[in-house]
Amino acid sequence: MWIECYDYFQADRWFFWPILWGLLFCVAGVTMILYARKDPEERKSGLLPFYIWTGFALLWTIGVGSDIIARRWHYKAILANRQYQETEGPVEHFSTYFHQKWRTQYDRFTVNQAYFDMKAKGFRKVPADIDSSGQALADGRWVKVQYEGGVLLKLWVKQKTQHATAE
């Protein structure tokens, strides 16, 4: 029996934050322009910096937003059309490292020579009968992985089977 421990769309729940930040900066830019146009002294000094701010925020939001949304649609289409690569086998070369700049913990591992490097916080806990620590990944653990171009889309951990002994 397989237990699903990772789903790209569940692990990346906060994908929309860059888009929201961009929209916030666009609103701030429009607000600055509106208030500056009311003040005659501000109109004399020029509104160009406010227009540059707003234009950059708008272009950034459109660029980042379209990239994020296109990537998510691409991966959803790959899963829906079953065009992903799939491998099954034991986890090898499992290691965890902490990225100092981004203050994020990452897991690195291979399955049948397919290399994965991803944020550790996206994994769900596994039942105690698989691992008492609750970790989804460990060296030697049997997993099934669906991926596209090195991006892990789904991961299942094989549950230990209890074989009845004949007496």
Q: Which two tokens stand for residue 80?
A: 């829906």
46: region left, alpha or beta (phi > 0 left; psi from -120 to 50 alpha): left
Q: Name the DSSP letter for residue 12.
A: T
Tell me the DSSP string of 70-137. Answer: HHHHHHHHHHHTT-SEEEEEEEEEEEEEEETTTTEEEEEEEETTEEEEEEGGGPPP--TTT-TT--S-
Residue by residue, pLDDT tens for the chain (167 residues) are 888 777 777 766 677 888 999 999 999 999 988 888 887 776 666 788 889 999 999 999 999 999 989 988 999 999 999 999 999 999 999 888 887 776 777 888 899 999 988 776 767 666 666 666 667 788 888 899 999 988 888 888 887 655 444 44
